[in-house]
Structure 1
Amino acid sequence: MATTDVVVVGAGSAGCVVAARLSEERQLGVTVLEAGGSDLSLWVRMPIGYGGAFFHPKLNWRYYTEPEEGLGGRKAYWPRGKVVGGSSSINAMVYIRGQARDYDRWAEAGNTGWSYADVLPCFRRLETNLAGGDAWRGDRGPITVRTIAAEAHPVSHAFVAACESAGLARNPDFNGRDQEGVGFYQITTRGGLRCSAATAYLHPALRRPNLDLVTEAAVTRVLFEGRRAVGVEYRRGGRLCRVMARREVILCAGAIGSPQILQLSGIGDPAKLAPLGIETVAASPNVGRNLQDHVGFDLVFEARVPTLNATLGPLLARSVAALRYVLTRGGPLSLSVNQAGGFVRGDEGRTRPNLQLYFSPLSYTRAVPGKRRLTKPDTFQGFNLGISNCHPKSRGWLHIRSSDPEAAPEIHPLYFSAPDDLTELLGSIPLLRTIAAQPPLASIIRRELAPGAEVVDPDALEAFVRRTTTSVYHPCGTCAMGPDPDGGAVVDPRLRVHGVERLRVADASIMPAITAGNLNAPSLMIGERASDLILADLVRFA
């Protein structure tokens, strides 16, 4: 049985940051437990390799929701990183902070210290923006962020031009003064390789003697003396092990893993834990509730010109792209397929963007679990024009099925349970078609394949949206932050779990409300902010 000062559970986006920052204090011993294995994998390191990681059993938890009424009874697939670096090792690398108003609303709900003015220094501290630093952007941080405008596919440039032709404003930096507008996405790569949280934070920090990483360590529960967390139990190589914490336990296992571990440890709804044979340590019925996620769909078009389908489909073309990547670390394999997009208002009455645009200069057939790992481009020339909601109102829940830590929890996102979410997405279809009808895109479109230009009936469009909408893979909110546990909060604004001592949660699960856009950047920020709070309590003002 090992002993350390702080145990960090999960080496994902936030966990890598927390572990690295805490270990800067040399008097603190830090141990990180990661359920997955090494991130030394082609599918992780090569940017476009996330297509291969999408269903990879050694890199991905491969969760499924329960059948969703809002999706016509379908189950939604939820990939989550089961590897050092967590989901930052398998995601599409798009870097989006969210809107300033998102964080100001957190603070207005009683989360002191989480306004945009409070978190902006954390965002600036975590990044090196290759375009340079300013009042909003950082230029000395561990995460490398770059725009792909100069390298984006010509069809992606046609999309941006079409958006401008449709009256949408051009925005060169969605992470600057204002998020609204259209343009090219920024991604987290460095030297042609993925710049994950592990690459940027954890691996350099592991040179310190006070930081240890234990991989293939599946946490089974937090250990308590009364209501005080004193360590963690985990399974590794068939053996049950323990690591004791002299100071604190920090859960950074993500929006699924963190509430799952809390429930397994006796922190949850007593009425649900008792039938599973789990003794309640602290009654906290909101653990696993407040589940939020972005959802979206694509319109699929057949193109008259070559798209990335021509580059990533045929064997010879793929081989040429691979050789280029090996020799130069450049070309399409060094990028994300989510190349362009933006944030727009669905109607003039809104005060801020409520929709996110996605443009991929290829069309593809998603891999099928158990049959094929890779996501394969279609055999014709095509591209996807997609959209998702920025601030969904639907709220779901998740809960463990049994006391078996290896059993995946049941997940109920309850997509479209708030009718406004469906109305919002249905109302976006005319906008997507307006963009496609502008000369820069219209001139290269052969036809709309899905749902098809002839599909205009409202009922038929609703059926299409329900049939094709998927998760955008941004689950959050399941250990919501707030000052009042009776008001729905699981952790307080210093990320301490209500009702117990020496236990915190620091990952996307603490979001009281989802932010606009991709969640990796906010998760990294949460790691930075959590580190400040933990160090202030444990070291600097102890």
Structure 2
Amino acid sequence: MTSSSVPSGYDVVVLGGGVAGCVLAARLTEDPGRSVCLVEAGPDYGPRQRTWPEKILNARVLPRDDVWERHTAFYRIRARILGGSSCINGAWNTWGSHADHAEWTRAGGERWSARALEPYRLRAVERMGLRAVPDNELSAWASAALGAARELGYREVDMGAPGRPGYGRPLLNSAGGLRRNAAFAYLDPATRSRPNLTILADALVDRLSVRAGRVSGVHAVLDGERVTLQADTYVLASGTFGSPAVLLRSGIGPAAQLKENGIRCEADLPGVGANLSDQPGVFVPLSPTDGLNGALAAKEAAGELYNSRMLIRAASEYCPDGAWDLHLLPTAGAPLFGALPPGRYEAGVSAFLMKPVSRGHVRLRSADPLEPPEIAPAFLTDPAGRDIAVLRAGLEKAEELAAVLKPLAVPSDGAPAHALSDAGLRDRVGTYWHPVGTCAMGPAEDPRSVVDGQGAVHGVAGLRVADASILPTVPAANTQLPVLAVAEMLADTLRT
């Protein structure tokens, strides 16, 4: 669709065609009397899988072509494609603990409880076609890790449902090596054929027009030309990095920061861009034996090699009873970064901090929508040092697991990871790629909150946010399934 043929008026405009945006567009257009425009900055490869690039379909790799920034810092990677992060992630789906829902309920009300979200979790599982890892996708390493977890006393649990600490296999939105992303699941050919749905791909959202506390339009760039879209309701679903950037360019955010960028303040909300929370981790490298390398090579030759197919939910001493604050992730396969000679593989165990205390931020560098925002994850920086302490506990548990796996891979030379200095841990920190929190929900009287429990932006009529950015705390899980369920729930609030 060209800029000259774009209708301007809709009932709902959804800004962002990622995981949440696909859910919202599909659910809201189930009412034939409601017109919806879904705006995505990246490409739309169409309703048929055969027209999509092979890299995006291949669930054995993490594609990095359709992203906002190439060759950037690891924590800045974010999808720019219809389907969002479901097109570039590991296709893993896990669920958090009851403690997560207690945090969300305090911020957003009863609809955020585990019980209230359960039907939406089940709805997302069904629509995405999620399934547990089949036996044929387990490598020798993954099978040994399952046995090692049992040997260490962990109980087996369902990773895609509420539960307790333990080990298990995640739910996958892939089958036979083919990734089923949110665009396939929610924007299937039948959904796309609805006359009340318009999809604008390759359309960069600049800003919202806000006057007297109400949104009157959204400005975007399509085919190099500026277009203005109007609607009764505007829903931001541009992600934890993108949604606060759009709000800030629209004059919604901390007044002092807006002034620095020459932006008129329309709603002074200090929480916009603050409270960034992501899950940092450290990889414990191991040296595969010749036997493991041979087994992995055979698996790769059969087209069934996946780096990771099991995980462990573990609890540190800081964790509430019945919850977990760590993921232990054994991996073996092609290196995530770099390359190895044919027949040689990377193996190790990562410890990820699932409930970090540290908080970073997203800020504008300028009012230009083409200028990437400043993103500061602030990993392991909480003044009390709790994040460092929990991560050390996780690394000790990772090393215990590695010891049981010694027949297949042996520790590399050097000090154990848990014994590194604080600076040494920060030098080795990576991320699970699960950022949340930059448009956090909470009561209007809380200066740190941006939206209420239905995603409505405080003090701005007709505007909602419906993605991972509104979660005030990150769940003890991979965030794709929680975001799918939250978007399903928020779609219901928009339909009533």
Look up the equivalent residue of 2:375 and give its one-letter code. Answer: I
Aligned equivalent of 1:103, options 101, 104, 115 = 101
The answer as to whether partners of 1:339 and 1:361 remain within 8 angstroms in 2 is no
Structure-2 change in CA distance of 1:20 and 1:303 (3 Å):
same
1:176, CA displacement in angstroms? Answer: 3.1
Aligned 8 A contact 1:479 1:510 in 2: yes
- Other structure's SS at 1:234 match: strand
Task: Tell me how far 1:219 sits from its aligned partner.
Answer: 0.2
Moved more, 519-528 or 421-430: 421-430
2:57 alignment partner AA: R
Q: Which runs of 5+ in 1 are unaligned?
A: 66-74, 129-140, 325-330, 368-374, 537-542
Structure 2 counterpart of 1:443: 407
Residue 387 (structure 1) aligned to one of 351, 362, 375 = 351
Q: Is the 8 A contact 2:99 2:320 kept in 1?
A: no
Which whole-Å deviations, capped at 9, do the CAs of 1:155-177 have from their partners, x for residues lacking one? 11111111211222222x11235
Distance 1:19 1:165 in 2: 46
Q: Give the counterpart of 2:148 among 150, 162, 165.
A: 162
In structure 2, the residue matched to 1:486 is 446
Offset at residue 226 of structure 1 (A): 2.8
Instruction: Say which of 60, 67, 70 aligns to 2:67.
Output: 60
- 2:365 maps to what in 1? 401
Which of 367, 373, 386 is the matching residue for 1:420? 386
The answer to whether residue 186 in structure 2 is matched with residue 201 in structure 1 is yes
CA deviation map 1:106-164 (0-9, x unaligned): 11235331111111110011123xxxxxxxxxxxx344333234421011111111121
Q: Note the alpha carbon deviations across 1:62-101, whole angstroms, 9 max, x for none.
A: 3899xxxxxxxxx553211100100111110110121122
1:21 aligns with 2:33: no
Q: 1:309 to 1:496 in 2, by over 3 A?
A: farther
Distance 2:19 2:294 in 1: 31
* Cα distance between partner residues in 2 of 1:191 and 1:338: 15
Q: 1:41 pairs with 53, 64, 85, which one?
A: 53
In 1, distance between residues paired with 2:11 and 2:334? 49
CA distance in 2, matches of 1:180, 1:275: 46
Deviations along 1:330-378, one digit per CA (max 9) or x if unpaired, are x23xxx52211120112497412111111112251515xxxxxxx6688
Aligned-pair CA distance for 1:501: 0.4
Show the 5 A alignment for 1:501-520: 501-520=461-480
Equivalent residue for 1:359? 330
Structure 2 unaligned regions, length at least 5: 1-6, 46-51
Give yes or no for contact 1:363–1:377 (8 Å, CA) kept in 2: no
Deviations 1:439-489 (A, max 9, x none): xx22222x312xx3x415976354542222112111110000112253411
Contact 1:294 1:389 in 2 (8 A): yes
Counterpart contact for 1:309–1:382, Cα < 8 Å:
no
Q: State the partner residue of 2:3.
A: none
The alpha-carbon distance between structure 1 residues 105 and 378, as it changes in their structure 2 partners (threshold 3 A), is farther
With structure 1 as the length reference, what TM-score do the two structures score? 0.83
Name which of structure 1's ranges 217-226 and 28-37 shifts more when overlaid on structure 2.
217-226
2:400 counterpart of 1:434: yes
Distance 1:485 1:257, change over 3 A: farther
Contact 2:160 2:170 in 1 (8 A): no
Asked if 1:526 corresponds to 2:490, the answer is: no
* Paired residues for 1:56-455 under 5 Å: 56=65, 59-62=66-69, 76-128=74-126, 141-171=127-157, 173-190=158-175, 192-204=177-189, 205-245=191-231, 247-307=232-292, 320-321=301-302, 331-332=304-305, 336-347=306-317, 350-351=320-321, 352-362=323-333, 364=335, 366-367=337-338, 380-418=344-382, 419-438=385-404, 441-445=405-409, 447-449=410-412, 452=413, 454-455=414-415
Residues 157-166 or 502-511, more deviating: 157-166
**Aligned pair in 2 of structure 1 residues 122, 241: CA closer, same or farther (>3 Å)?**
same
Kindly, what percent of the aligned residue pairs are identical? 30
- 8 Å Cα contact 1:392/1:421 also seen in 2: yes
In the alignment, is residue 7 of structure 1 matched against residue 13 of structure 2? yes
CA offsets per residue over residues 198-257 of structure 1, 9 Å max, x none?
110023411211101110000001123432113211112211111111x20000000000
Amino acid at match of 2:246: I
Asked if the contact 2:237/2:467 (under 8 Å) is kept, the reply is yes
Provide the secondary structure at the position in 1 that maps to 2:307: coil
Paired amino acid for 2:479: L
* Shift in alpha-carbon separation, 1:80–1:309, aligned structure 2, 3 A: farther
CA contact (8 A) 1:9 1:15 kept: yes
Looking at structure 1, the residues matched to 353 and 460 of structure 2 have their Cα atoms a distance apart, in angstroms, of 36
Distance 1:381 1:366, change over 3 A: closer
